[in-house]
Amino acid sequence: AAPAIPLNDGRTMPQVGLGVWQAPAEVTAEVVRAALTVGYRSVDTAAAYRNERGVGEGVRSSGVDREKVFVTTKLWNDDHGYDATLRAFEASLARLGLEEVDLYLIHWPAPTQDRYLDSWRALVRLREEGRARSIGVSNFMIEHLRRIIGETGVAPAVNQIELHPKFQQTDLRAFHAGQGIVTESWSPLGRGRLLADPVVAKVAAKHATTPAQVIIRWHIDLGLIVIPKSVNPDRIAENFDVFDFRLDDEDMAAFARLDDPAGRIGPDPLAFG
Ligand code: A2P
């Protein structure tokens, strides 16, 4: 089983989960079921992925008790604002077919809209009501985090950000650590582009594992939550078979040298949404 990472609200979250970004709606239920069957207990979706129904179906048909599965979904950029957030949350719950989610995230700060603070206030209410058991954000930068914490006194439980060996987010991770925010890595494999890297290949050969497994292990050994995406049952199983080895100091140093200030793959949070 994946280790449980403590959150700043007293709950815990599995350290490894399944990401379903770009999982087609019609295969999502099957993919989620496959993951739960090999031991995953956490699934990360979003309203924007248009596959929340499949996630709910997959959880229900897996035979795993709903209370044993940690379900994350996210507020899309079109739904920022206090009332719009509350409505969008209800719509996500209805699509998932759940009474509560384990974690609700603001997907992007969308700072040009300047409404993420109102959205955050709505998430605080949803947590008070117990419908979102934990609340957090995604793609927030230090300035956005400072603002929501300063205005509400509530720090997000997690900030889910682009993070992989070519984009290591060292400054943001240090800020999170100081605020008790858990860092969650999206596109942890660099969307698959890091799998052919020679440094990764060398570390993988040393541990007799695959490139994907050593990259996932790097996230785990840094204390991050990690949600590799795959729609292939063999790769889903491979990505969860990472709990019987760990990287040593030499491996971690080699990975540290892969960091690249220009390594971002996804959108710039200041400009997006
Ligand atoms: P697929 O879904 O066909 O398995 P990230 O999580 O960084 O966004 O990376 C996801 C990409 O990496 C997807 O294209 C996924 O393809 C691929 N991928 C996921 N796991 C593995 C693996 N173990 N080996 C090779 N490719 C993988």
Q: Work out the pLDDT band at 85, boundaries 50, 70, 90.
A: very high
Task: Examine the pLDDT at 125 and tell me if it is beyond 90.
Answer: yes
**Atom of ligand 1 lying closest to residue 192 CA:** 12
The CATH number fitting domain 4-256, selected from 3.40.190.10, 3.20.20.70, 3.20.20.100, 3.30.750.24: 3.20.20.100
What is the model's pLDDT at position 16?
98
End-to-end CA distance of the chain: 36
Computed over its alpha carbons, how large is the radius of gyration of the chain? 18
Residue that has been written with the tokens 């815990």 in this structure: 12
Q: What is the pLDDT of residues 217-254, one digit of tens each?
A: 999 999 999 999 999 999 999 999 999 999 999 999 99
Choose the residue to mutate in 28, 44, 185, 189 for probing ligand 1, maximizing ligand atoms within 8 Å of C-beta.
189
49 catalytic? Reply is yes
Confidence of residue 19 (pLDDT cuts 50, 70, 90): very high
For range 128-139, the mean pLDDT: 98
Instruction: Please choose, from the candidates 108, 255, 105, the residue with its C-alpha nearest in 3D space to the C-alpha of residue 181.
Output: 105
Distance 76 CA to ligand 1 centre (A): 24
In percent, how much of the chain has pLDDT > 70? 100
Binding-site sequence positions for substrate: 107
Please give the pLDDT value at position 244: 97
| 105: Cα separation from own chain's centroid | 9
Kind and range of the H or E run holding 4: strand 4-6
Q: pLDDT digits over 26-37, tens only? A: 999 999 999 999
Catalytic residue, candidates 40, 49, 104, 116: 49
What ligand 1 atom has the least distance to the C-alpha of 189?
7
* Model pLDDT for residues 159-218, shown as the tens digit of each residue: 999 999 999 999 999 999 999 999 999 999 999 889 999 999 999 999 999 999 999 999
Q: Is the pTM of this model over 0.80?
A: yes
Label residue 20 by pLDDT band (50, 70, 90).
Answer: very high
Which residue of 187, 215, 230 sits with most ligand 1 atoms within 8 Å of its CB, as the best mutation to test the pocket?
A: 230
- Among protein residues, the one with the nearest Cα to ligand 1's atom 15 is 230
Which atom of ligand 1 has the smallest separation from the CA of 22?
A: 2
Tell me the ipTM for this assembly: 0.97
Tell me the pLDDT tens digit for each residue of 103-123.
999 999 999 999 999 999 999
Distance 193 CA to ligand 1 centre (A): 9
Reference 200, options 235, 166, 237; nearest CA is 166
Q: Within 6 Å (CB) of ligand 1, which residues are found? A: 19, 187-192, 195, 212, 228-232, 235, 238-239
The chain-wide mean pLDDT, for the chain, equals: 98
> Which pLDDT value is given to residue 192?
86
CA of 22 to the centre of ligand 1 (A): 11
Placement of tokens 């199983």 in the chain: 237
Separation of 192 CA from ligand 1 center, angstroms? 5
Q: How far apart are CA 266 and CA 169, in angstroms?
A: 13
Q: Is 124 helix (H, G, I), strand (E, B) or coil?
A: helix
Average pLDDT for 69-95: 98
